[in-house]
Amino acid sequence: MTALSSHETHSVSDELHQIKNALRLMIETQRTQTEMLAKLIEAATPSEEPHPLEEAMAAVAGALHDQTTVMERVETEIGGLGREVEAGVMRGLASALGVDTKDPSPHKRRAHARPTSEATKSEARDQSSARDSSEPATRPAAPNAQC
């Protein structure tokens, strides 16, 4: 065997040192990755005790479910509101016009309802004519009247 020169020995020694450093960095990297994987596995493993995040998420899900139920009820209530308002307006209008809502004929008036302005004028004229025909033809003179 031939002996290595000091330059060659130094070169081999440097190469070994570089390999040792590379292996040390690989081991350190592997240790770091192992710790990270252990933490991931720990986080992914379901625990027996409740986690605060799980409790918060369950509370949020429950509140959303309750709000959805309430909104569905509101939608149901509002769904018939238009028909109820229309029916109420029609009843009020019928009452104001004196139309009997139970009678299928829309032109008949209820007996206790107030007549419209034309009917009122006609009735007033009829009553006035009846009074005029029953009153005496001459009226008494006003007091202190001079002729």
- Tell me, yes or no, whether 20 lies in a domain: yes
99 DSSP β-pair partners:
109
Question: pTM of the entire structure?
Answer: 0.30
What are the CA-CA distances from residue 1 to residues 4, 8, 65, 141 (Å)?
9, 15, 85, 169
Q: How many domains, in total, are found in the chain?
A: 1
- Tens digit of each residue's pLDDT (9 = 90 or more) over 1-28: 566 677 777 788 888 989 999 999 999 9
CA distance 49 to 31: 29
Q: What is the pLDDT confidence band of residue 98, given thresholds at 50, 70 and 90? A: confident
- Tell me, yes or no, whether 59 lies in a domain: no
- Tell me, yes or no, whether 19 lies in a domain: yes
- Tell me, yes or no, whether 23 lies in a domain: yes
The range of the structural domain enclosing residue 31 comes to: 15-44
